[in-house]
Amino acid sequence: MTWTLLYLRSRHVPLALAAAVGGVAVLWALYLAFAKERDVTPMMVVLTVLLMVAALAPTLAGPDENLERTASVRWAWRRAVHLLAGLLIILAVLLATRHTGARFGPVALVVRDAAGLLGLTALCATVVGAARSWFLPLGWTTIAAVYPQPGTWGAVATWQGQPPDSRAATVVAAVLAIGGLVAYAVAGPARRDPSE
């Protein structure tokens, strides 16, 4: 096996991809079967992006984070590519539905929330580890999607549930995306005790 296949297998990427794409397929089929409109509601789009990010979150660390701190391998660019590949997968799957009977969009909402939530998850992975990195995005996004707040500070606090043209929400998502990418690429996932 090549290094790439071993890397993907050690992080359970095939299983995570199956869960993420399978979850979207189920939501897409249910919406196609029962909804009267072609465009999926923004709240469902946000929660679907969250589902995919949560499914891919455990892949941000391997079975032993200490092995990823060796000096013989340059991990920073590999971590960055891993995170960007996750973003591309989320975007490809959700934007592929734009040409079907149940469209997940608008595109700006999908891109903003996917980048921001993946960045937030990467930040959490550097602090609490990949296994728990989806807790904060799940709680924050669920509240923000159900109760989006008006005004600038409301848009900052509930950026996930804001309309796609919200400048404050876009800035928060961009800061989280860039911050998460840099922190995860440089620091990697948090170390954990062997007993965990």
pLDDT tens digits, residue range 150-196?
888 998 999 999 999 999 999 999 999 999 999 999 998 887 665 55
Residue the block writes with tokens 């998502």: 173
Give CA separation, 27 vs 48, 61, 115, in Å.
8, 27, 21
The DSSP code for 133 is: T
Residue 34 pLDDT class (50, 70, 90 cuts): very high
Distance between CA atoms of residues 54 and 58, nearest Å: 8
Instruction: For the chain, give every domain's residue range.
Output: 3-187
pLDDT value at residue 188: 87
pLDDT value at residue 49: 97
pLDDT value at residue 146: 87
Give the contacts of 128 (CB within 8 A, at least 6 positions apart): 135, 190
Residue 80 pLDDT class (50, 70, 90 cuts): very high
pLDDT value at residue 64: 74
Residue 6 pLDDT class (50, 70, 90 cuts): confident
pLDDT value at residue 191: 77
Residue 71 pLDDT class (50, 70, 90 cuts): low
- More confident position, 104 or 65: 104
Give the pLDDT confidence of 93-116 residue by residue, as tens digits. Answer: 999 999 998 999 899 999 999 999
Give the contacts of 57 (CB within 8 A, at least 6 positions apart): 121, 125, 130, 133, 134, 137
pLDDT value at residue 195: 56
pLDDT at 70 over 80: no
What's the mean pLDDT when you consider all of the chain?
91
Residue the block writes with tokens 């794409």: 21
pTM (two decimals): 0.92
Distance between CA atoms of residues 188 and 80, nearest Å: 10
8 Å CB contact between 116 and 137? no
Distance between CA atoms of residues 73 and 6, nearest Å: 15
Distance between CA atoms of residues 116 and 125, nearest Å: 14
8 Å CB contact between 190 and 65? yes
pLDDT at 120 over 80: yes
8 Å CB contact between 169 and 111? no
Give CA separation, 110 vs 47, 67, 85, 97, in Å.
10, 34, 15, 12
